[in-house]
Chains A and B, each alone.
Chain A
Amino acid sequence: MAFDLFKKISRAPTNPHPATAKRNFDVAELYEGPLTAPTGGAVHQDAAPLDEKLRQAYFWIVNTAIISPHYDVEYNEAPPQEFAVGDAKSRLVLPSAQSYSSFVLVPLLTFALRRKCLFIGGPGRGKTASAILMGVLAGYPLQEVRRAMQHGHPQMTIADLLGNPLPADLVGAQKMEDIRISWRKWLGMRVKIIDEYNRIPTRTQSALLTVMGDNYAEILDHIYECPESAWFLTANDERGGGTYQVIEALRDRIDVIVQALSFNSRFLSTLLTRIDENRRPEEAVPPEIIFSTGEVDRMGAAIRAVQIPVPIRRRIEFFTSQFELCDAAAEQFEYKTKDTARLSGLEWSAVTAQDTGRDRLKDLGCQTRNGLSVRNLMTLLQYAKALAFFRGNEVVELADVRQILPFVLHDKLLQDPDAPFFEAAGNGRFRTDPVGWLRKLFDLACGEYDQLDLDRKDIVGELEAELEAGLEGVREGEARKRLLKIERAVSDLSTGRKLYGHLYDDLLKLKYLHQRYTNYLHWLESV
């Protein structure tokens, strides 16, 4: 095979971890080295583990295919070097551990999880090229990926998107079932690409929503069940601006949003090489980094097996709890949410004007117009696991959550640009920087969590653990004692304190626990 610089992938472990398992030395190691041997025969080693393969794919893409020298997903093993640049003292951080480019990493995690990723950014920044690469990684020939890509345009019809009834059947059929449908081939693919989805007419977007949300297509009562697949969409505006407004339900189906950053002019020589070579990287994806359907299935299972330790989960809970509370939205405790205010149709400024008592600068909830949905949280947990898996870990670290969170919540947590936080010195830039803002928000939540010392003092967590141990054999006296403990905890937490989001969730949880014991006591009394 001819020498091909595009086909070179990393031979060294891409993120080596210390060996702790039993050592297994294989004579196949003898033939590993600088030259790549074609596979075949009994003397060759097994394929790389899937996390290693995923990292090899990442490094091949960043080193060869996509010029994205933006290591914005930063990890540190030791305190990093930091520099203040310019009059505005812009912070440049040199990470002390392996860090990643979100523009490549996030789509790869989407590929591994078979979720939905939206590329945003100006034209010519590699959004479509990245999406095509993901199709090639799934083993599809380049031509097939290109042909299957759906290009959004203002005249796109449902038939363009999904397929057509056969004309002969339309004329001759006596009933609907007799009409055969010629389904579009892309519906059966494991990687689906929709280019410029914000140029698709609204009616066709609804058909797309059914495929994206429910994984099937429907024409004339005929159903086409699509396989589980990864979706890659591109747009020049995440908010749905374009020829047509993107319907909210469709935007909500998108799991992560990643921005194509600008081209660094210092890498012009790489572009020149491509012109000299007259080859495109996507034409030369090494076979070693192409994933079979079975491998992606196994990777999904391995990602699900990654553990999220309780202290990390607690911090995610604490962060999440900050945003839904809207004290002025309702009288009844359970309805004091931003969703209640939104459903009322009242102007947001009118709602916030009624909000009194809390420190609106300190309260993180004041920075958003909404809270997080169950879908958002599930996506966050899945992507945090995927990132840990990608890094070769079996448990999620806090840094994984911190790094992936902005891409998951990019357009999900809606900023209130009029919040006092954005008026504070240095915070105005967060109005235009959702990634930085969301990371800051998470950092602030973690700071508050530490200040409250919730890792050690968590009465709600203790009471929850008591209940989770089971009610089997709990006698009436013990149940009443626990009921009293809950009431005392409610009293302690609520007396003399202002109502913030995390307290609101804690109190609702205590109410839930109280109900469980109350019902249990009723049951004990009745038997």
Chain B
Amino acid sequence: MKPPLSSALAGALRDRRTDLNQRFERARHQYPQLEPDDLSSFLRECVDDVVVAVERESPTAIAPVVSAAYDAALILCGQKLVGQSSSTRVIAAGWKHVLPAAAALLAQAPSRILAAVSNALHTLAGTSGARPLDWIDALTRLAPRCPDVTTFLCVGQVLGWRAGLAHLRASALDTAARLPPDLAMAAVGATSGDWPTLLARLHEDVWFDPGQTTPAAPGPRIAKEAGAFRGLGGLFLVPPQVAATDGGWLVRSAEQHWYLALDAFGVTFHRATVDEWNAVSHEPRLPPDTALAGATLRQGSATLALPTVGPITSAAAAGSTVALTSAHTHSIAFVALA
């Protein structure tokens, strides 16, 4: 048996029944797949908790919140982003957890926050390797500490980067620099330390994770392996090659090209062109104190066994990172130098 709707949501729906029914009809013209049952379930399972939380914070905001939530629900259900046949559950999860935690802010700017949270989860869910559930957990914890809507949205952006959107790193660090220090530290996962020092280190070292309390072992280490064979859910048809470019990496496999962004928190691939690939150097270059010998990388006196298979086919370096590809594997190894 379905649980009853809260009196707050039931009342708001009843008060604007004709208008809401008209909106449903209009939405159905746009989204012929829109199912009344999906909408009804979403209102019951996700919107109701949000409205109850808003009622506690600001009873006068119930009507605008319900109106905005209803419109958002029409689009989300119409596009099958929530509901029984949706391919992902994360948007619904975000509505259940993040929005009640942000009820006070939601009462101030319902459309803006509903769109931002839903779109962010849609982006994260659609990005291979991203961790939308981490984003939900972190934002649910931090939302009550945000003094205003803009701060909340900025915190969400920083958390989006930390949840795996590595290409947003530079922009997210700029955003973090504008946040109050305590919130900024919490957003980047730091539990102690001095914020300006942490921020400077984040700018310098793409492998630095403020939330990692155990220091890395001295010497070079495999920081990340990225990419996989297309038949196993990856992007590459043949083993790739890599080259360094301004602010990231370029990858080529079977005449296809990608721009690759990565750091301690994630890896993202973006389509690139052959012109971009041709514009960068493909000479294997390693830092002066670093050398390759078979499947071993030597930095000074330290050595590292590489996860390469077969001869090295490309090697590139940028900052404190060396990228390597080999003839018989579809993944790219990224080595963090000491």
Interface residues of A (CB under 8 A from B): 1-5, 8, 18-20, 22-23, 25-38, 40-43, 273, 276-277
Contact B115 A23 (CB under 8 A): no
B181 to chain A minimum Cβ distance, whole angstroms, is: 18
Contact B115 A18 (CB under 8 A): no
Contact B160 A37 (CB under 8 A): no
Residues of A within 8 A of B7 (CB): none
Add 6 more A-B contacts to A30-B123, A43-B157 (CB < 8 A).
A29-B168, A32-B119, A34-B76, A34-B118, A38-B109, A41-B153
Residues of B245-301 whose CB lies within 8 A of A: 246-248, 259, 261, 270-273, 275-276
Interface size class of B (residues with CB under 8 A): 35 or more
> Knowing A25-B167, A26-B171, A29-B168 touch, does A34 contact B122 (C-beta < 8 A)?
yes
- Among B68, B149, B273, the residue within 8 A (CB) of A20 is B273
> Knowing A34-B118, A273-B29 touch, does A2 contact B71 (C-beta < 8 A)?
yes
Residues of B within 8 A of A41 (CB): 112, 149-150, 153
Q: Flag whether B175 is at the interface (Cβ < 8 A).
A: yes
A488 CA to B271 CA in the complex, in Å?
55
Contact B27 A3 (CB under 8 A): yes
> Knowing A25-B168, A26-B171, A34-B76 touch, does A4 contact B26 (C-beta < 8 A)?
yes
> Knowing A20-B276, A27-B172 touch, does A5 contact B29 (C-beta < 8 A)?
yes
List of 8 A-B pairs having minimum Cβ-Cβ separation, nearest first: A33-B119, A37-B115, A35-B115, A27-B157, A33-B122, A30-B160, A3-B23, A43-B153
Residues of B within 8 A of A3 (CB): 23, 26-27, 70-71, 74-75
Residues of B within 8 A of A38 (CB): 109, 111-112, 115
Residues of B within 8 A of A18 (CB): 271, 273, 275
* B76 to A, closest residue via Cβ: A34
Interface residues of B (CB under 8 A from A): 19, 23, 25-27, 29-30, 67-68, 70-72, 74-76, 79, 81, 109, 111-112, 114-116, 118-120, 122-124, 149-150, 153-154, 156-158, 160-161, 165, 167-168, 170-172, 175, 178, 246-248, 259, 261, 270-273, 275-276
A4 CA to B111 CA in the complex, in Å?
14
Contact B114 A30 (CB under 8 A): no
Residues of B within 8 A of A29 (CB): 123, 168
* A42 to B, closest residue via Cβ: B150
Contact A35 B75 (CB under 8 A): yes
> Knowing A23-B270, A41-B150 touch, does A2 contact B27 (C-beta < 8 A)?
no
Contact B115 A1 (CB under 8 A): no
Contacts across chains A and B counted by CB atoms under 8 Å: 124
Residues of A within 8 A of B178 (CB): 42
Contact B259 A23 (CB under 8 A): yes
B173 to chain A minimum Cβ distance, whole angstroms, is: 9
B284 to chain A minimum Cβ distance, whole angstroms, is: 24
> Knowing A35-B118, A37-B115, A41-B150 touch, does A30 contact B157 (C-beta < 8 A)?
yes
Contact A22 B246 (CB under 8 A): yes
B251 to chain A minimum Cβ distance, whole angstroms, is: 14
> Knowing A1-B111, A33-B119 touch, does A19 contact B247 (C-beta < 8 A)?
no
- Among A19, A20, A40, A43, the residue within 8 A (CB) of B154 is A43
Q: List 15 A-B contacts (CB under 8 A).
A: A1-B111, A5-B26, A18-B273, A20-B276, A23-B248, A23-B270, A27-B160, A27-B175, A31-B115, A32-B123, A34-B122, A35-B75, A37-B115, A41-B153, A43-B157
* B111 to A, closest residue via Cβ: A38
A329 CA to B62 CA in the complex, in Å?
83
> Knowing A23-B270, A25-B261 touch, does A34 contact B30 (C-beta < 8 A)?
no
> Knowing A33-B119, A33-B122 touch, does A25 contact B246 (C-beta < 8 A)?
no
Which of A2, A4, A38 has the most chain B CB atoms closer than 10 A to its own CB? A2
Residues of A within 8 A of B30 (CB): 5, 8
Contact A43 B150 (CB under 8 A): yes
A276 CA to B120 CA in the complex, in Å?
35
B333 to chain A minimum Cβ distance, whole angstroms, is: 23
Contact A31 B153 (CB under 8 A): yes
A23 CA to B261 CA in the complex, in Å?
11
A39 to chain B minimum Cβ distance, whole angstroms, is: 9
B179 to chain A minimum Cβ distance, whole angstroms, is: 11
Contact B261 A37 (CB under 8 A): no
A20 CA to B273 CA in the complex, in Å?
7
Residues of A within 8 A of B161 (CB): 27
* B67 to A, closest residue via Cβ: A2
A3 CA to B73 CA in the complex, in Å?
10
A393 to chain B minimum Cβ distance, whole angstroms, is: 16
- Among A20, A27, A33, A35, the residue within 8 A (CB) of B171 is A27
A25 CA to B262 CA in the complex, in Å?
13
> Knowing A25-B261, A43-B150 touch, does A35 contact B72 (C-beta < 8 A)?
yes
A6 to chain B minimum Cβ distance, whole angstroms, is: 9
Which of A31, A276, A277 has the most chain B CB atoms closer than 10 A to its own CB? A31
A23 CA to B79 CA in the complex, in Å?
30
Residues of B within 8 A of A28 (CB): 157, 171
Contact A31 B259 (CB under 8 A): no
Residues of A within 8 A of B116 (CB): 31, 37, 43
A22 CA to B259 CA in the complex, in Å?
11
B112 to chain A minimum Cβ distance, whole angstroms, is: 5
Contact B119 A34 (CB under 8 A): yes
* B159 to A, closest residue via Cβ: A30
Residues of A within 8 A of B160 (CB): 27, 30
Residues of B within 8 A of A33 (CB): 115, 118-120, 122-123
Contact B112 A40 (CB under 8 A): yes
Residues of A within 8 A of B72 (CB): 35
Residues of B within 8 A of A2 (CB): 19, 23, 67, 71
Residues of A within 8 A of B114 (CB): 35
Contact A25 B171 (CB under 8 A): yes
Residues of A within 8 A of B171 (CB): 25-28
